[in-house]
Amino acid sequence: MKALRPEFEAALHQALDQFETPFYAYDLPAIQQRTCQLRDLFAGGKLLYALKANPRLRLLGALRALGLGAEAVSVGEVGRAYAAGFPPSEVLLSGPVKTPATLRHLQETGLPILAADSVADLERIADQCPGAAVLVRINPDLPVSTHGHLATGQGESQFGILEEDLRRALQSARGLRVLGLQLHAGSLLGTADLLRAYQRAGEIAERHGPFRVLDLGGGFGPEADLERVATSALKLTEELGAELWVEPGRSVTAAFGVLVTRCWGIKRTRRRYLLLDAGMTELIRPMLYGAEHPVLPLYSGGELEHFDLAGPACERGDVLAREALLPTPRVGDALAILEVGAYGASMSSSYLDHPRPLELGFDGQGFEIWRRPEEFSALWAGEAQATAPAAQDSQRR
């Protein structure tokens, strides 16, 4: 069974006395230590943290203090990066579609570096933002062994520009400051996939360059040998005479966040379920990607049995884990779903009017509230209401 740092686990027990479940909790000192490790491995390169993994402002401030830049994929994320103190020159906006309204908004609030994802994107940026600093995203056209939803570097995906179209794309970038190329071959990648994609990016950069920057993206899976990956990325960019940029998301935060939930019943149908107060609206990864997250009981005793962990949504797929081996809990006992510090809370939704949950940050001593739970009233704020339904009914009669 996977374990947490003892001081973090002890603090979780205290938090359970203070806060209602479900809640996310993050181990900030562990994230900071991990960030320093990544910074050392990629020394000489630039780290742009992919906000989408976990965008809490408190976290962003800590990462900025460690010298990281930010990678955003929406106007909202750019605004969030600015709110956390990143200057526009340290923010990269990726993503496949930048509308005229997006570009207008960014010109008013501060133009980040733009990663152009198509010829249409480049033409629009050149037209609306002459002189803007851009990277051109390439599609390495490589199969990668990860979940199909995460295989962005495959030729079939909608991301990046294939090499055969790159010359035309670079021509349409006239008037822009093309810093270089961007690659993001996918997420949860292993060493072999990462190295193959880097090699392909290097070959493309050599044929179409020279470029000042080669951004090799994120995607470092937990099994990847990051020492090998970083050494090879640095060697490649040195040979090309380019600056190395990388965009880690998951590898910064995933291992250091938990979702704490309580069990409100045991139920047997043809399977054995624990009924939890957290589910797909808090954590969609099991349903969306078939992701498997370890489960740690925050209680003791009870016979060990296999349970499926069901959430409160009226959806057959609302199951956070299958066949988890756990001591039989009592009603009210708490569990921690592990390795949810990335793409956990950031992908949570208010489907079924479930408010997004509380998020707590552990600072080594105790917990600080990083984000309050969403208020019920916020769920319907901004909606139109019928003004006098009774009067309308009587007119119809």
Question: Mind telling me the catalytic residues?
Answer: 314
191 or 328: whose CB is closer to ligand PLP? 191
CB of 207 to ligand PLP, least distance (A): 22
247 or 339: whose CB is closer to ligand PLP? 247
CB of 169 to ligand PLP, least distance (A): 17
50 or 136: whose CB is closer to ligand PLP? 50
Please, which of residues 138-197 interact with ligand PLP by CB under 6 A?
Answer: 184, 187
135 or 298: whose CB is closer to ligand PLP? 135
Query: 2: which DSSP letter?
Result: -
- Name the packing angle between helices 75-83 and 57-65 (round to 10°): 60
Contact with ligand PLP (CB under 6 A) among 22, 54, 71, 157: 71
Picking from 82, 132, 125, 92, the residue whose alpha carbon sits closest to that of residue 216 is 92
> What are residue 274's phi and psi, to 5 degrees?
-100, 135
CB of 53 to ligand PLP, least distance (A): 5
CB of 157 to ligand PLP, least distance (A): 11
112 or 297: whose CB is closer to ligand PLP? 112
Number of shown-chain residues binding ligand PLP (CB under 6 A): 17
Asked whether the beta carbons of 217 and 182 are under 8 A apart, the reply is yes
- Burial call 172-190: b when 16+ CB within 10 Å, e when fewer: bbeebebbbbbbbbbbbbb
CB of 68 to ligand PLP, least distance (A): 13
Please, which of residues 272-301 interact with ligand PLP by CB under 6 A?
Answer: none
Question: How does DSSP assign 233-274, residue by residue?
Answer: HHHHHHHHT-EEEE--SHHHHGGGEEEEEEEEEEEESSSEEE
Please, which of residues 208-267 interact with ligand PLP by CB under 6 A?
Answer: 217-220, 247-251
Separation between Cα atoms, residue 29 and residue 37, nearest integer Å: 12
Please, which of residues 334-353 interact with ligand PLP by CB under 6 A?
Answer: 342
Asked whether the beta carbons of 310 and 274 are under 8 A apart, the reply is yes
Query: 355: which DSSP letter?
Result: P
Tokens describing residue 260:
């704490």
Run of H or E including 272: strand 272-276
Contact between 34 and ligand PLP by CB under 6 A: the answer reads no
Tokens describing residue 290:
């078939």
| Interface contacts to ligand PLP, rule CB under 6 A | 50, 52-53, 71, 94, 184, 187, 217-220, 247-251, 342
